[in-house]
Amino acid sequence: MKIKFQKFQGTGNDFVIIKNKDLLFPSNNNKLIEKLCDRKHGIGCDGLILINPSQSSDFEMIYYNSNGFLGSMCGNGARCSVKFAQIHNLINNNTSFEAYDGNHEASIENNIISLSMKPVNNIKIFNDGLFLDTGSPHYIKVVNNIENLDVYNEGKLIRNSKEYKEKGVNVNFVKIYSKDEFQVRTYERGVENETLSCGTGVTAVALAMFHSGRTDSKKINIKTKGGELTVKFDTSELGYNNIKLIGKVEMIFSGEIEV
């Protein structure tokens, strides 16, 4: 079986994306998906995305972690999927599509994708961090020496802690630069390692910084290892809405692999 694909990256978060028009991709084959994501034995990526047809929207995005199993919402993967859909003439400059956590809207200006994220109404504050769900669960911890931080081991410790071991959690370490500028490094569940960027994580950090009083800005710029993203949002009595994740994406290459 030959599979056509394109590889995209959004601030260093990279994805193999497949147009699954006829639903022929063996999506239950976790070992195949894991192999395609493997950087030594496959194409290599943080996750694999299927673009399926949809009855109620422009398309459906199905995201798999690099371990081969179905993942939750992926912000950078969604932004890349939107550009993929435009390249394949599924959409023009605006779209509404289905994802793990429901419908999302997005707009495209050249290679900059503005993606709507689901409202957030519940943020938990602990002694050493915050927890919230932006389509995927995230733990947020402010640190000083982010450059030399052992993200793999520190993140793994929290991700596998008693509270989060069963369902898993993404762990975001944050350095504060100013009231509207932060740096983030993320340990991602499913990948089980640090990634260069995490869209839902960046979104979670922006809301957490506002919620904890570390910023009063509703437009926040966040640096990741793979590049910069912007998060905009509004507040209400219920929490946070009109959340937008904004940044560049790039198509790296197209290919075909026999499996």
Of 54, 53, 55, 75, the C-alpha closest to 63 is: 75
Annotation marks residue 80 as catalytic: no
In the chain, what's the furthest Cα-to-Cα distance?
54
**Catalytic residue among 37, 45, 80, 198, which?**
198
- Residue 200's nearest CA partner among 134, 104, 115, 123 is 134
Domain of 41: which CATH number? Answer: 3.10.310.10
Q: Residue 91's pLDDT is what?
A: 98
pLDDT tens per residue across span 51-104: 999 999 999 999 999 999 999 999 999 999 999 999 999 999 999 999 999 999
Q: What is the pLDDT of the chain when averaged over all its residues?
A: 97
Please report the pLDDT score of residue 17 as a whole number.
Answer: 98
Given pLDDT bands bounded at 50, 70 and 90, which one contains residue 214? Answer: very high
Clarify whether 198 is annotated catalytic: yes
Could you tell me which of 222, 255, 251 has the C-alpha nearest to residue 82? 251
Looking at residues 191-195, what average pLDDT do you find? 97
Residues 135 and 170 reside in one and the same domain: yes
User: What are 85's two structure tokens?
Assistant: 């859909």
Share of the chain above pLDDT 90, in %: 98
Structural domain containing residue 150: 123-248
The Cα–Cα gap between 75 and 58 comes to 17
47-52 vs 13-19, strand pairing mode:
parallel
What pLDDT shows up at residue 87?
Answer: 98
Token duo for residue 84: 């993929």
- Secondary structure letter of residue 83 according to DSSP: H
Tell whether 35 and 127 lie within a shared domain: no
Judge if 7 and 19 occupy the same domain: yes
CA separation for the pair 198, 229 (Å, rounded): 10
- Per the structure, the count of domains in the chain is 2
Cα→Cα distances 4→29, 101, 137, Å: 17, 27, 32
Which one is catalytic: 37, 45, 74, 80? 74
Same domain, 157 and 238: yes
Give mean pLDDT, residues 211-220: 97
